[in-house]
Structure 1
Amino acid sequence: MTKAVYYEGNQRLRSGDAPAMEPLPGEVRIAVSYAGICGTDLHIYHGHMDHRVSFPHIMGHELSGVVDMVGPNCGSIKEGDRVTVMPLQPCDNCPACDAGHRHICHKLKFMGIETPGAFQKYWTVPVETIVPLPDNLSLKHGALIEPLAVACHDVRRGKVAKGDYVVILGGGPIGTLIALVAKASGAEVLVSEINPHRLELLENMGLNVINPLERDVVAYVEEATGGAGCDVVFEVTSSTAGAELMTRLPRTRGRIVVVGIFNKPVPVDLHKFFWRELEMSGARVYEREDFSAAVELAASGKLPLDTIISTVYPLDQLAEGFRQMESGSSVMKILIECQ
């Protein structure tokens, strides 16, 4: 047996035993080093995704670890390899999969939601989900690869190029990583955020910031771009205010990428799309190439990843990590040490 933390509904978490699953053919068992608490985990914790989980449920999908045991038919993966996981299990038998878009499979299972996740000492996963980590990347930083892959995918969807003026609406963990990836791509970046702690943190990372409660974002961007507007907007707030603002910022034929999850329809000014021939894209998760880009970027040492990690808790204090996440005021990314 091993240890895990179970979600039992109604914001209840319980530490307990879990079977140390021996890997079947095509499976690998990971000794989980660190696992990050994600906004999705918080949604599960608050009961918003109870229809997708099986109780008791082990959450978590952002992780790093070391291969502990390898089942048959696992290719070159071996014990002792340092790895992370791309936590998607597509059906390979739907129109999206047939079109090559397995990451947004119509019947996609997201590991840590529809299946048990990483908040446990040992996690057995399909070998095809394994992503190797280089030796020069710390395991703490390795636990940030999954959200960094989200950011790499978002920036790729936005077709961000060197010299672009990019605005990110929302400076939480994903918005911050999008800003860092866009800046690393050669773009000029502005992050709109209202949380004072995050504004200070973003500035300390060398990012330009603006508080929309204190300054007019549209006027600021127009002045900065000579009246043209920005090249790309990333909407990461999932708010009605963000949906309203995102159409007022782009230049003619500018681009909008919707990253935030809107659970209900919100008003969007379609006249702006007509008037300036705007483009809008959705960005859901990531593809394998985004994980490769994230690993390469993290290993380069160009990103201030230590600054993004707010706190590290041991596995049996996962509930405290969720309580700190809920406070929101001074948190960016919380990691759980699972060994």
Structure 2
Amino acid sequence: MKSTQYIGNKTFSVIDKAKVDPLSDEVRIKVAYTGVCGTDVHIYHGMMDKRVQMPVTIGHEMSGTIDAIGADVTNYKVGDKVVVRPLDDRGVLPSDKGFNHICENLKFIGIDSPGSMQQFWNVPAFTLHQLPKNTDLKLAALIEPLAVAVHDVRLSELKKHETAVVLGGGPIGLLVALVAQQTGAQVFVSEINPKRIAKAKELGLNVIDPTKVDLIEEVKNRTENRRADVVFEVAGVQATLDIMTEVAGIRGRIVMVAIHGQKKEVDLFKFFWKELRLIGARVYEKEDYERAITLVTENKVGFENMITDIQPLTNIQSVFEQIDLNPDGMKVLMDCQQ
């Protein structure tokens, strides 16, 4: 089998190695597709060198079919289509209050242990979600990031006829907007990049370019001055932190989707003045994965338009180099059998 390895200094290698039989509680997956996410790009840039154990096979946005089963695995069979929820929560403690997806000793598979950018991948069976037989495995590679969006929208408690503003039209921002629309809410995406604006419109989303119109005034005009019931901060820059408390209306809910590695300035006065709520949202839970699978299976929102390129696994070095040269793309998949 072929396997990729990040070896540091913006460098990947492709090696040949023997397939390994799964342990008693594992399955071996023939990986169909793996998507490249922002975390993978951070690893490529060396931003996580202190965390990953090089050489390391990364990747976690994937789809595939079961190739072999460990002796103790009884609820799956060879040939089943599956995705992996890449959270290893075996270190859960009572102090984690049952929230296994954010437990203190959580390990993220594909970062803290080998990931899916290889032809065959051994994983614990408890991480699996089975897919319907007719599932398109290309679309199924979007289930992991889509589950992030489902989790964000679920925690926001967004309801029909409310208004949501998504600050940032990258891959996660657009998935959040697409999921938010399924609630029956009025949804706007704030984005300044022309290519991402075009993609959002292609997906049928309402887009506001804050470099051309005043975002706050535009939202006020479309909500009879009420502003937004929910704001999703996805861009992760100071400008969106500044605007999120302005565009939120009275008792608005702000969901922090972006990861801020350093302390940032936030207008806390607005939280007092308008009784705002700030909601943290991290990864996903089992129910979010199941909802994402349903959305992909139904495919009523054209998720295929999120996929901007598919490349052979053996092209991994050029895939990451091209992402650096063209950061405007949405979702690049690697065909892990090529």
TM-score by length of 1: 0.97
Does residue 1:32 correspond to 2:31, yes or no? yes
Q: What is aligned with 2:53?
A: 54
Distance in 2 (CA, whole Å) between partners of 1:96 and 1:232 is 30
Distance in 2 (CA, whole Å) between partners of 1:235 and 1:117 is 28
Residue deviations 1:14-73 (CA, integer Å, cap 9, x gap): 111234221111100000000000000000000111111111010100000000000011
- Secondary structure of the 1:120 match is coil
Distance in 2 (CA, whole Å) between partners of 1:21 and 1:259 is 37
Distance in 1 (CA, whole Å) between partners of 2:210 and 2:279 is 24
- Secondary structure of the 2:3 match is strand
Q: Against the structure 1 CA distance between its residues 37 and 223, is the aligned structure 2 distance closer, same or farther, given a 3 Å change threshold?
A: same
- Secondary structure of the 2:50 match is coil
Q: How many residues align?
A: 337
1:11, 1:47 within 8 Å by CA — same for their partners in 2?
A: yes
How much does 1:128 deviate? 0.2
How much does 1:327 deviate? 2.6
Does residue 1:134 correspond to 2:132, yes or no? yes
Q: What is aligned with 1:72?
A: 71
Does residue 1:177 correspond to 2:175, yes or no? yes
Distance in 2 (CA, whole Å) between partners of 1:157 and 1:92 is 25
Q: What is aligned with 2:14?
A: 15
Residue deviations 1:250-275 (CA, integer Å, cap 9, x gap): 11111000000101111100000000
| 1:153-302 mapped onto 2 (5 Å cutoff) | 153-302=151-300
Residue deviations 1:194-239 (CA, integer Å, cap 9, x gap): 1111101111111000112222111111111111111100000110
Q: What is aligned with 1:83?
A: 82
1:96, 1:104 within 8 Å by CA — same for their partners in 2?
A: no
Distance in 2 (CA, whole Å) between partners of 1:95 and 1:270 is 33
- Secondary structure of the 1:114 match is coil
- Secondary structure of the 1:8 match is strand
Which AA in structure 2 matches 1:82?
K
Residue deviations 1:281-339 (CA, integer Å, cap 9, x gap): 11110000000000011111212111000000000111222122223454100000001
Moved over 6 A (4+): none
How much does 1:74 deviate? 1.2
- Secondary structure of the 1:156 match is helix
Question: Which of 114, 117, 126 matches 2:115?
Answer: 117
Q: What is aligned with 1:150?
A: 148
Which AA in structure 2 matches 1:52?
R
Which AA in structure 2 matches 1:22?
D
| Structure 2: gaps of 5 or more residues | none
TM-score by length of 2: 0.98
Distance in 2 (CA, whole Å) between partners of 1:142 and 1:35 is 10
